[in-house]
Homo-oligomer: A and B are copies of this chain.
Amino acid sequence: MRRVYLDNAATTPLLPEVREAMMPFLGEVFGNPSSLHSWGDPAREAVETARVQVAGLIGAQVEEIIFTGSGTESNNFAIKGLAMANQKKGNHIIISAVEHFSVLHSARTLEKLGFQVSEVPVDKYGTVDPDDVRRRIRKDTILVSVMHANGEIGTIEPIKEIAKITKEMNIPLHTDAVATAGTIPVNVKELGVDALSLAGNQFYGPKGVGALWVRRGVRIMPLLDGGIQEGGKRAGTENVPAIVGLGKAAELATANMDARIKLLTALRDRLITQLPAKIDHVVITGHPQKRLPGHASFCIEFIEGESMLMWLNMQGVAVSSGSACTSRALKASHVLIASGLSHELAQGSLLFTFGIDSTVEDVDYILEVLPPIVTRLRQMSPLYAKFEKAGKGVR
């Protein structure tokens, strides 16, 4: 059976070049970078090379990169660490309604500690209006966090415009760039942000590693206390092989970004254009233009995303129905609800995320196998009467 992996938002595979770069550090080069003897030296040098590579990917100063264990850790570190470090100035933070749970739930934790959190709404495309951020800023606002792009609906947020406002008001701005760094151009200076999260397994690097970039001069409190690794900002023995892999993946992403974007955009557009012509009642979620290149997301009415996912899986196709981090919670996506979709429609969420190994044939396979699945599932669905009433053949 054909196997088609279209769930690169959940995790990308590891590139062979990345694995090769990691291998010595899973073998003879096993030293602890903090060690003062010659076993530590090559490990430390490898970590510093990776720091240069990651800094290069996002146009940052090398010493501003802090390695972490995941995108989730980077987001927790940013939200909690920036809030805690600025507690004397105030206790109000602003996030968007469509943030990843690692931001959203970090904010909830801060609420329990006495912080106040305002959520900025989004439009039907999941886009934040910078003026909505401005309107929520108060005298005691100490942090704004809006994601660079949303992994569930692909929408790219107007970070530059938001940064103009936060800069004017002198409030630190964090952006969760887990879905963008390594995929589309991300430059911290151009974006104008003060802190930015990224994760290795989103651009063909390893799992178990991420980074938080924090602009020099911006105070942050460590999330992991202990030794003086990462400039005293993130304790714990460095995960050398994973950091090396992240560096290599960053280098490859920098070098190949244009070609990758071209490929992914073509595949995405092919699916987004052709799928609605083959299935009734399909809604494209997220922004029609300002969206991630390899990201095609839909809601298919009168049906459940989970069941489509299972049936597609039986046909050898991997897709998802939302964020992998919440897939097992089986709840309607907060992102879709915030974008104004009904709970019923949000249940039919289906998310295709292409990768650099994806092909036109993969798209055509989806166009072939999905429509009969949808037809069958609708016939089996308790919503079938409703569907018939809404009208077959309606696009």
Contact = CB atoms under 8 A, between A and B. Distances in A.
A387 interface: no
Given A26-B14, A225-B105, A7 B35 contact: yes
A239 B237 contact: no
A340 B75 CA distance: 42
A318 B75 contact: no
A320 B36 CA distance: 8
Contact of A313 (B34, B38, B227, B329): B38
A19 B26 contact: yes
Contacts of A321: 36
A356 to B, nearest CB: 13
B236 A36 contact: no
Contacts of A390: none
B34 A327 contact: yes
Contact of A72 (B31, B37, B236): B236
B108 A37 contact: no
Contacts of A27: 14, 19
Interface of A: 5, 7, 10-14, 19, 22, 26-27, 30-32, 34-40, 69-73, 75-76, 100-102, 105-106, 108-109, 113, 199, 201, 206-209, 221-229, 235-242, 306, 309-310, 312-313, 317-321, 323-329
A209 B71 CA distance: 15
B73 A236 contact: yes
Nearest to A16: B27
Contact of A76 (B223, B306, B324): B223
A283 B114 CA distance: 51
B39 A235 contact: no
22 contacts: A5-B39, A10-B34, A10-B35, A10-B40, A14-B27, A34-B325, A35-B320, A37-B309, A38-B313, A38-B318, A69-B73, A71-B237, A73-B224, A76-B223, A102-B226, A105-B226, A109-B221, A109-B222, A207-B237, A207-B238, A223-B223, A239-B242
